[in-house]
Every structure is written in C-alpha cells, then in structure tokens.
Chains A and B, each alone.
Chain A
Amino acid sequence: MDVGLKIWRFNRETGDRELREYEIDAPEEATLLDCLDIVKDKHDGSLAYRKSCRMMICGSCGMRMDGGAVLACKTRIYDVVKDGHVPTISAMGNLPIIKDLVVDMAPFWAKFRAVDPYLRPGYQEPPHGKEHLISPQRMNVIHKEALCINCGCCVSECNAMESDPRFLGPQALAKAMRFVGDPRDGHKIDRLETLNDEHGIWECTRCYFCNERCPKGVDPRDAIAKLGAESMKEGIERDMGAKHAKWFVHSAKTTGWLRETELVPKTQGVVSAIKQTKFALGLLKHGKVPPPFPPHVAEGVGESRRLYDLVQDQGVRGYDAIVQGERALAKLEHMHDEDNGRDPFAEGTLRPYLPDEKPEEIGGANEGMGSLTQADVTPGEEPTRKPEGGA
C-alpha cells in the first residue's frame, strides 16, 4: 500500500522548521508508528520520534495527525490514507518541541508532581497487615482515572492550557481525582483545597477536547467535573467557578431558565457586577439579555424541579453522583450494543468442542448445551417437549 506522509520537521539547534513529504510502501495492517519506522529506516534516519511498546500502554508516541493528538501506534494508517489523503504529522501541542515529533515533557511532569501524585494514607491501618477491605464498587470509582498512561494527548489539545500555561491541566487533574476518589487516601480535603486554588479545576473551559482525544478513555474532563462536585459537597466553593455552577443549578430549579442578569453578581460578586453595568446596558439595548423583572418562568419548570428533586432524593452527591451517571450510561450503551449486536454463535461460525465429544452432540452453544427443557426435533416428526422441570 502506498502511503504519503507530510511531517513537520524541527531542529532545535538551528530553529529550522520544515514540512517534508515522504512516499513509502507499507503493509495494509501498518499503524502510523509502523509508517514512521519505515520512513526512519529506509528514507531518512534523522527523523526523531518516541516509541516503545507499540501496544497503546507505554504512552510514548503521542503526536498530532492533521492537527489532533493521537497515539501513533493506535492509528491504523489504512483508514486514513485509503481515499488518497496525505496526513500531516506534527509534534503535540502545548509542550516545547525538542526535535521533529519529540516534545519536552518536563512541563507535563511538573504538573503531575504538583498534585502530590501518590497515596497519602489515612489513619486507618488495614487489619493484620493485610490488604484494605474495599468493595469493587467503591474501588472502581477511580477505574477510568487509573487507565491514564501519561501520553500527553489531552494536554496537547487543552485550550485552557494554551491561554494559561500554569493551569494544572487535564492529566494532572485526572491523576488528582485518582487519589481524591481512593478510599485509602486520608487527605481528600487538603487535596480539594489545593485543587480549588488559582490554576486549578475551575480554570477548565469545558471544551471536552481532552475527553475526545484521550486514547485510553480516561475522560479527564469528567474527572475534573468529579473534583468540582466533590469540592462543593465538602463545602469548598469559594472559587467563582463553583459559585457559577451553583447559580446555574439554582436558576434552573427556580425558573427553569438561566437568569444571566443575576448570574454575574452571584458569580463575581456585587462590586464586580456594578463595574460591568455599562456593558450590561449595552447588551440590554441590543436585546441580548431579557429584562430581569419580572422573572420569566419557563413553561416546563415543573419538570425541571422534579428532576432536581429526584436527584436530591437519591442522596448521591459529589463524584459518586457522576460515577453513578457514568455507570448508568455505560449500561445503556451496553444494552444498546446487545440489541444491535450479532449472535456470536450464528449459523456458519465455529463452535468450540472437545476432541472427545462429537461436534454434532454439542448443539447450538447459545442455547446452553444439554438443556433439559428444550424440545427434541426429529425431521419429519412433531417436536416433543420435555417434561417440566427436566427429564
């Protein structure tokens, strides 16, 4: 298969940057990483990129393809080039480039270190020096965060980090959630306090690029939401972001609308709101904000309130509420899959059998072998039903 690649080359020593095009021959099953290997071996040995496991677990080969972060080893090139497309490969964003596709990860790891990325045990010692006893449901609260391979794809795409490089960013915050949600950690409140500081969780702009580009399904934005929810559950709501979120809920509950005129003083405080009076009047003049009085109540506000009460009644708060939602969604998705999925043991597929059994004795594996209540069918004869409760 012919593959064309355009690769942004960069030389730190000279500062030269150049888009170079390569034509290579690659096997159909090749990944982007395999293609880079072919370029390096057979076309240009000076091309620099990181690689190691080539199985999506070491996190070395994060880079950008056509402007979005990918793991090179996870990207099947056939799907990309089959219509003649020539992808452009470049280094990840938001990190300084060392050479070609290799970025300096030092700022990335500095953020990682900033969240105390290790268990700080509480006072409860596990019994008899053995393991802590924790239910699977409780432990699995952090299972998505535990999948993170530190590849940097989320950081590469983070819009908030682009405007404020000091923002802790999606991977460090996902790592933080990994400990905030760990029942063995004894410093949840301290951690949340720190994470609510400037450049912490409330700096995220909720663009969801990190979720979209994470190759491992960590969903860092959701981790940030969990940290926010847990902070508010614990009464840590000093940040404007927390107040903003709180007002959203209040507004939706009372009138079913977002009341923007009230949002500003509630979020930023009265003084700041007064300072923005001129801007607000301008908006009002152009019909961009509805008059604050009398408040407009949405027609279906009853439904909005019932939803609010339903959630309140469940009494699940903080990250638990988000995790519960995630599990419910996953279950729905899974059921949806099952409805549309094909039968794994459909006609014409292989049926496993042991050599000392004859294959025809096995029957449809899907029905359960040797079912006692199933009908016996002999061609040309009426089916006979086995007696209730088995033979």
Chain B
Amino acid sequence: MEATHDVLVVGAGCAGMRAAIEAHDAGADVGVISKLHPTRSHSGAAEGGINAALGNAGDDDPEKHTFDTVKGSDYLGDQDGIEILCREAPGDIYQLEHWGAFFSRRDDGKLAQRPFGAAGSPRTVFAADITGHVLIQVLYEQLVKRDITVYEEFFAWQLVENDGRCQGVIAWDLVNGGLKTFGGKTVVLCTGGQGRIYRVTTNAYACTGDGMAMALRLGVPLKDMEFMQFHPTTLYPSGVLLTEGCRGEGAYLINKDGERFMQRYAPNALELASRDVVSRSETTEIEAGRGINGSVLLDMRHLGAERIIERLPGSRELSMTFAGVDPIYDPVPVRPGAHYHMGGVDTDNDGATELTGLYAAGETACVSVHGANRLGGNSLMETITFGRRAGRAAAEWALSHTTIDVPTSAEADAARELGRMLDFSGGERPWQIRQDLGSSMLDNFGVFRYADQMAQQVDYLEELKERFDRGVVIEDKGDVFNTDLTSAIELGFCIDLARCMLQAGLARTESRGAHSRPRDYPDRDDENWMRHSISRWNGDGPELSYKEVRVTRFEPMERTY
C-alpha cells in the first residue's frame, strides 16, 4: 500500500480542499488524491459569485435565501439541507474573507454583492468575474499553510470496500505510472460533475463524473441523475462559460431582431429568471428561427466600457479570445450548454452516503440543495458549506475508529483489468465513442426532452456501451503521463452515468426544473413526482427507485418569474 491516512479526500476543487482543511483542523491525518494539481480544478472556472445572505447590498436574510433556493429547485430540493446551507453560508463567507479571499468590495469597505438569477436580493458575493479562481487560490493557500499531503496527478479509479466499509482508493500514478493503493478510514468524494458527457459544455476536460461512477460501481446509490442544468450563456462556438454575472450587471439577451425576448417568458425577472427558464426561452427562440447560427445574443454594450472592464474583464477576455467579439462594441453569440449536474451521490446533510466510511460533497454529491434546478451562485456556496460538513463528519468517524484493512487482492484485480485494457488492439479509438456520446446526448437529452428521442438514446447508449466493452485501443503503452489510458477510463465512467441519466429521465413523466417534457408532460406533477430518483447499479446496469423529498416549511407553489 502506498500510504494510509485517517481521511482520504478524492478531488481537490473547492469542496475537496474545504473538506481536507476541516478534517485536518478536526485533528485527522488527511491525504488528498487528485488527478489535477489542486489549482487546476474546475471550481476555479466558476465566475459570477457565491451566494450568502449578508445583506450588504440590500435587505436580505437566510430565510429569503432559503425560499429562493427551494423555489428555484422546483420543490425537489430537500428543505432541511437548504436551510443549513443558507443559515451557515454567511459564516463560511466571513471565514473565507479572514483567510484572505480577494473579494470585490463596496465603497463602504464591506463585501460587494450583485444580483443573480431568481434571487430576491443582491446576494452574490464575488471577485469581479473570477470568483472560483479566487476561492481555489485561497483554499490552496490554506492547504499549503497546513502542509496537508496532496497526491497530485494521481487518477483515482476504484474505491475499495471491505467489511461493509469504504476503506481505500486505487489510483493510477500519472507521472510515474503504476497502480497505487491508498488506505483510509474514511473517503470523501469531491470529484465534481460530468459535463463532458455533452458535446457543448462549460465543463473542463477533467469533468467526467469519476466519483459518481466509482460510487455507483460499488453499489452506492446516485440521486436525481436526470437533472442536468443547461447554462443560458455559453459562448458560441466553443461552449465556454460567460457568467450569469453579465446579466446580473444588467446585460440583455436579444434575438436576431434585437428584441429582449425574455419579457415574453418571464415578464418580471426578464434576463434574471432562473437558469432553466432562460435556457428554455433561448431554445424556443432559436427553434422558431429567431436566432443566429443556433445562438442568441448577449448584449452588454449599454453597460459601457468602464463597467465591463471593471466588473466583467474575464468575460470580455473570453469573448475576444474565443469568439473574436469585444462585448464593449458588439453583442456576443451565446447558447445553452451543459453546465452543472444537480444529481450525484446520495448523501445526508453531513455528506454521508449509504456506505459506511464513504462521504461526498460538491457537485459529485446530491444532498440535495439544488433539487431540479440550481440557482447561480449556490454551487460555490455548497462546495464550501457541505465540503466543510463532510470533512468534519469524515474526520470524526475516522478518529473514533482505528483499523484500515485493504485486501491485496483489490489492487491485483485492478492491475489485471488494466493490463487487459492496455493489451487490447484492433478495435476503435476512444475518441470516436466519446464524440458519439457527446453529440447524441446533446441531441436527445438536452434542454427539451421528448419520449421518442429519450427511448432512442437509451438504445444508443447500450450500443456505445457495447462498443466500449468490446475494447478500445489505447495507443500509448508507456507508464509516464499516459492520459490516453486515463481518458479511456473516464469515457467508461461517462457512459455508465449517461445510462443512469437517461433511465431516470425517461421514467420521470413530468416537467420539473431542468427536466422539461413540453410535448407529453408539460406540467409539474407534485402528487406523483415530488420525489427523488435513485439509481443503483445491479451488476450490469442501473436500477431505479424513489425517495421522498424532505419538506420543512415550504409547500409547493406555482413557479413563475
């Protein structure tokens, strides 16, 4: 065994680093395993901000934040979890500030807050439009300060279960090659989302749902897999994110005629309606022929050069680099793109999963505080608040138990499997399957969902699975920095997760949040469907069951913006 720690954290984005810091401060010996250096994590790409009801820019309190989030979730969020998030968020923000986070300020010296979609008050704390970057930096700084062990560029591939407990992780050492086994009394999964299942996505290449897939294969249930959020403003053609902060600062969405079409869909909130609503409106406009090149336009010109340069410099840089458009002078082409996965590993409010010793936090997890649709600015907050809670819970459990027992057969089995993958020749290269997966998911399981397309996609995924299982050719046979191998493993993860998503989506005969079936089930059906989908691996595929939503104080109401 390479090493053992009280707590193993897999993934080093905001949730992973926050969990590691908390576990360390609780007295546990912590090891972090990440396939990227921590500051390369995709949390760093979050732009617009992080929500906490500080009330610096307007009348606000955690109660309002809770209501907005419950409503935004289309009443699928677990309300006790949402209450925890909104209540603990301000303290977590102040702590980040005390650690040195470089947030934007108001003239009175307090933290600045900007309006965001579907929020009743300007609640989003931010650092220009590089909030995620600033958080990643401050968390990494704190990790360095504590001298927490990080196994950088180790690709976590399998979890080890023994004695009914999760007790370790088997990882591929990217730099030196070879499988390495890490033992842990508890394991916290913080590996992020799986946007790479889609061809058009804001997500990094690294976002392949590794943690969810590892948990799934161990028999740990995933929750609400059908809910993939499409962000309304991803840049055409590359799909990189332009923050909701653009609209928070006052940008318009216009169609090819210049019409601010959002008034027809969300007469009160206009451009700042909830993300699912805006993405559906855009798609409707584009499908009705009022788009340009399959896009609509994000118009910031009226904000003026000074405000754009001060508040949205990153968005301007991205627009100029990837679309050749300077938003000071021209509207920017945008379209909906896969952005955030509301579902994930089913956890309680302390990040604990069904399997003893296994925890999850961040986008990997599904507490669920986002329900069927996440509000902008809530995911960064979730990574911090629930990263901290999961780290604390994992440390406490670890410190009250002593043994780690990882059978040597686990690594030997993994090594045999790996050998088979590397030895295979004569089949197709993984990129073909990856491309087919991405395009078909976008076509058949996107913003709007139709029964026939979903059914077709279910079959197609079986076919992709078969192609993958038949064997793919890994051209790189070497040990050193073999990303040809790891990207093939990631593809396998993606296919498994896509199957869960489709199965749950086809079964959910209603429209709720990001799951919209305009033809056959256009309405929300609280009587039958105010419940979570649970996906569990049964050996060769996912199996569906359901779980009640935890309601505390907010009974479902009609949701308009």
B165 within 8 A of A: no
A41 to chain B: which residues have CB within 8 Å? 429, 431
Task: Using A118-B100, A355-B263 as known contacts, say yes or no to A134 and B109 having CB atoms under 8 A apart.
Answer: yes
Contacts of B357 in A (CB 8 A): none
Q: With A57-B45, A98-B481, A351-B258 in contact, is A52–B206 under 8 Å at CB?
A: yes
Residues 34-68 of chain B: 1 if any A CB is under 8 Å from the residue's CB, otherwise 0?
A: 00110111101100000000000000000000000
Which residues of chain B are within 8 angstroms of A142 by Cβ–Cβ distance?
A: 102
A131 touches B254 (CB 8 A): no
CA distance A352 to B298 in the complex (A): 10
Interface membership of B145, Cβ < 8 A? yes
User: Does any Cβ of B come within 8 Å of A262's Cβ?
Assistant: no
* A interface, over-half SS: loop
Q: Bound complex: CA of A357 vs CA of B465, how far in Å? A: 52
Check if A98 sits within 8 Å of B480, measured CB to CB.
Answer: yes
Contact A135-B105, Cβ < 8 Å, known A29-B237, A58-B36, A350-B254: yes
Give the residue name and chain of the A residue nearest to B175 (CB). Answer: A98
Contacts of A131 in B (CB 8 A): 93-94, 97-98, 103, 110-111
In angstroms, how far is the closest chain A Cβ from the Cβ of B339? 13
- Selected A-B contacts with CB under 8 Å, 30 pairs: A11-B480, A29-B322, A40-B483, A44-B475, A45-B476, A46-B475, A53-B204, A56-B317, A58-B36, A58-B41, A74-B321, A98-B481, A99-B480, A104-B175, A113-B144, A136-B107, A136-B112, A139-B104, A146-B127, A146-B134, A147-B130, A147-B133, A149-B133, A184-B100, A344-B301, A344-B329, A350-B297, A352-B252, A352-B259, A359-B258
A387: Cβ under 8 A from any B Cβ: no
CA distance A42 to B97 in the complex (A): 47
Most buried by B among A51, A121, A342: A51
Chain B CB within 8 A of A54 CB: yes
Whether a CB of chain A sits under 8 angstroms from the CB of B330 is: yes
Query: A58, B40: Cβ atoms under 8 Å?
Result: yes
Shortest beta-carbon distance, A235 to chain B, in Å? 26
Nearest-neighbour CB distance to chain B for A323, whole angstroms, equals 15
Assess whether B238 is interfacial by the CB under 8 Å rule.
yes
Is the beta-carbon distance between B204 and A52 smaller than 8 angstroms? yes
Rounded to whole Å, the gap between the CB of B11 and the closest CB of chain A is: 13
Tell me whether A372 is interfacial, beta carbon within 8 Å. no
Taking CB as reference atom, which chain A residue is nearest B474?
A45
Kindly state whether residue A199 has any CB partner on chain B within 8 Å: no
Of A135, A184, A337, A352, the contact of B258 (CB 8 Å cutoff): A352
Q: Given A53-B204, A149-B39, are A334 and B305 neighbors across the interface (CB < 8 Å)?
A: yes
Query: How far is B305's CA from A126's CA once the two chains are assembled, in angstroms?
Result: 35
Let me know if B98 and A121 touch, CB within 8 A.
yes
Contacts of A118 in B (CB 8 A): 99-100, 141-142, 144-145
- Which B residue's beta carbon lies closest to that of A71? B321
Asked whether A55 and B45 contact (CB < 8 A) given A46-B475, A135-B107, A341-B328, the answer is yes
Query: A136 and B259: CB pair below 8 A?
Result: no
Query: Is the beta-carbon distance between A58 and B100 smaller than 8 angstroms?
Result: no
From 35 to 65 in chain A, residues with beta carbon under 8 angstroms from any chain B beta carbon are: 40-42, 44-46, 48, 50-60
User: B127: which A residues are within 8 A, CB to CB?
Assistant: 146
Q: How far is the CA of A102 from the CA of B398 in the complex (A)?
A: 37
Query: When chains A and B are docked, how far (Å) is the Cα of A278 from the Cα of B278?
Result: 78
Known A46-B478, A146-B137; contact A136-B39, beta-carbon cutoff 8 A: no
Q: Do A119 and B99 touch across chains, with their CB atoms under 8 A apart? A: yes
Which residues 139-159 of A have a CB within 8 angstroms of B? 139, 142-143, 146-147, 149-150
Q: State whether the Cβ of A338 lies closer than 8 Å to any Cβ in chain B.
A: yes
**Of B257, B259, B261, B318, which one neighbours A55 at CB under 8 angstroms?**
B318
- 1/0 per position for B118-130, CB-CB distance to A under 8 A? 0000000001101
Check: A265 CB closer than 8 A to any chain B CB. no
What residues of chain B have their CB less than 8 Å away from a CB belonging to chain A?
A: 36-37, 39-42, 44-45, 91, 93-94, 97-100, 102-112, 127-128, 130, 132-134, 137, 141-142, 144-145, 175, 204-206, 237-238, 240-241, 252, 254, 256-261, 263-264, 297, 299, 301-302, 305-306, 309, 314, 317-318, 321-322, 328-331, 429, 431, 473-484
Q: Is A308 an interface residue (CB 8 A)?
A: no
Chain B residues with CB under 8 Å of A341's CB are 305, 328-329
Chain A residues, Cβ within 8 Å of B264: 355
Is A117 interfacial (CB 8 A cutoff)? Answer: yes
Contact A345 B94, beta carbon cutoff 8 Å = no
CB A6 to nearest CB in B, in angstroms, measures 20
Give bound CA distance, A184 to B475, whole Å.
52
The reply to whether B484 and A55 contact each other, CB–CB distance below 8 Å, is: no
| Beta-carbon nearest neighbor of B95 in chain A | A129
B240 contacts A356, CB within 8 Å?
Answer: no
- The answer for the CA separation of A53 and B473 in the assembled complex, in Å, is 25
A126 contacts B133, CB within 8 Å? no
In the complex, residue of chain A having the shortest beta-carbon distance to the beta carbon of B203: A53
Chain B: which residue is nearest A129 at the CB level? Answer: B94
Let me know if B105 and A45 touch, CB within 8 A: no
A82 in contact (CB, < 8 A): no
Chain A CB count within 10 A is highest, among B40, B257, B473, for B40
Closest to B150 in A: A109
Interface residues of A in 105-146 (CB under 8 A from B): 105, 109, 112-113, 117-119, 121, 126, 129-136, 139, 142-143, 146
Roughly how many angstroms separate A255 CA and B141 CA in the complex, as a whole number?
48
Q: How far is the CB of A40 from chain B (nearest CB, A)?
A: 7
Residue of A nearest to B314 (CB): A57
Closest CB in chain B relative to A241 CB, distance in Å: 28
User: Within the complex, which residue of B44, B100, B256, B479 is in contact with A53, where a contact is CB–CB below 8 Å?
Assistant: B44
The answer to whether A133 and B110 touch (CB under 8 A), given A352-B254, A353-B260, is yes
Question: Which of A57, A60, A135 has the most B CB atoms < 10 Å from its CB?
Answer: A57
Q: Return the chain A residue nearest B482 by Cβ.
A: A48
User: Which 10 interchain pairs have the tightest Cβ spacing?
Assistant: A45-B475, A119-B100, A133-B109, A41-B431, A118-B141, A350-B258, A344-B301, A46-B476, A118-B145, A48-B481
B480 engages A57 (CB within 8 Å): no
The answer to whether A55 touches B37, judged by C-beta atoms less than 8 angstroms apart, is no
Question: Would B483 and A48 count as touching, CB distance under 8 A?
Answer: yes
Given known A-B contacts A41-B429, A334-B305, A58 and B97 have beta carbons under 8 A apart: no
Instruction: Evaluate whether A52 and B205 lie within 8 angstroms (CB atoms) in the complex, with A131-B110, A133-B108, A334-B306 already known.
Output: yes
Q: Which chain B positions have C-beta within 8 A of A184?
A: 98, 100
Contact partners of A355 in chain B: CB under 8 A: 259-261, 263-264
Which residues of A have CB within 8 Å of B130?
Answer: 57, 147
> Are A99 and B481 in touch, CB under 8 angstroms?
yes
Give chain B nearest CB distance to A12 CB in angstroms.
6
List of A residues within 8 angstroms of B256 by Cβ:
350
Measured in the bound complex, the distance between the Cα atoms of B175 and A184 in whole Å is: 38
Contacts of B93 in A (CB 8 A): 131
Complex Cα gap A146–B91 (Å): 23
Contact call A150/B39, Cβ cutoff below 8 A: yes
B37 / chain A contacts, CB cutoff of 8 Å: 60, 105, 109
Other than the given A48-B481, A76-B321, A136-B107, 9 more pairs (CB < 8 A) read A13-B479, A29-B237, A45-B473, A50-B40, A53-B204, A55-B322, A119-B99, A121-B98, A136-B112
B205 touches A54 (CB 8 A): yes
